[in-house]
Amino acid sequence: MDATANLLSMADIEETFSLLDDWEERYRFVIDLGRKLPPFPETERTEANRVRGCTSKVWFISRVTGEPPVIEFQGDSDAHIVKGLIAILFSLYSGKTAAEILKVDAKTALAKLGLEAHLSPMRTNGLYSMVERIRAIAANA
């Protein structure tokens, strides 16, 4: 379940965003990021793994591995752009310890990409619902 294997770093995502001329190209890039997520197991598409507060259907699972223990995430959505947002969040959070995850300032990190200004209010709320779910997983790890 190494969801980080095909993900770009946040620095690479920020750099790519800065090189793209318009939001149409950035949206395509975000969708491409989502396509690189590993396949999500059908058996994990349960209500228990569903992220509440998202208009689209979103599922997250996690596991703790290694020493020191780090959290790896895997997720999926029924919406292409949301899958890309999941990939961005996993670039920000996956492979970190619970304490590191809880220290991440997602609002600042995501502001560097300018996402909030270009997502609908409902999609922005869903994005932060995903952040809260990741933080809850870390708090309980």
Task: Determine, yes or no, domain membership for 2.
Answer: no
Q: Is 39 helix (H, G, I), strand (E, B) or coil?
A: coil
Task: Determine, yes or no, domain membership for 134.
Answer: yes
| CATH number for the domain that contains residue 125 | 3.90.1010.10
Whole-Å CA distances, 18 to 12, 53, 89:
10, 30, 18
Nearest by Cα to 40 from 66, 65, 62, 13:
62
Task: Determine, yes or no, domain membership for 53.
Answer: yes
Task: Identify the bridge partners of residue 61 per DSSP, sorted by sequence position.
Answer: 74
Q: Would you state the pLDDT for residue 107?
A: 92
Quote the tokens at residue 93: 């959070």
Q: Would you state the pLDDT for residue 4?
A: 53
Task: Determine, yes or no, domain membership for 1.
Answer: no
Mean pLDDT by 10 residues, the chain (141 residues): 67 93 93 95 96 93 91 95 96 94 94 88 93 95 81
Task: Determine, yes or no, domain membership for 62.
Answer: yes
Task: Determine, yes or no, domain membership for 4.
Answer: no
Tell me the catalytic residues: 54
Instruction: State the total domains in the chain.
Output: 1
Task: Determine, yes or no, domain membership for 45.
Answer: yes
Task: Determine, yes or no, domain membership for 120.
Answer: yes
Tell me if 26 sits within 8 A of 17, measured CB to CB.
yes
How far is it, in rounded angstroms, from Cα 112 to Cα 116? 10
Quote the tokens at residue 21: 């001329």
Q: Would you state the pLDDT for residue 117?
A: 85
Tell me if 58 sits within 8 A of 126, measured CB to CB.
yes
Say what the pTM is: 0.92
* Residue 132 structural domain: 10-140
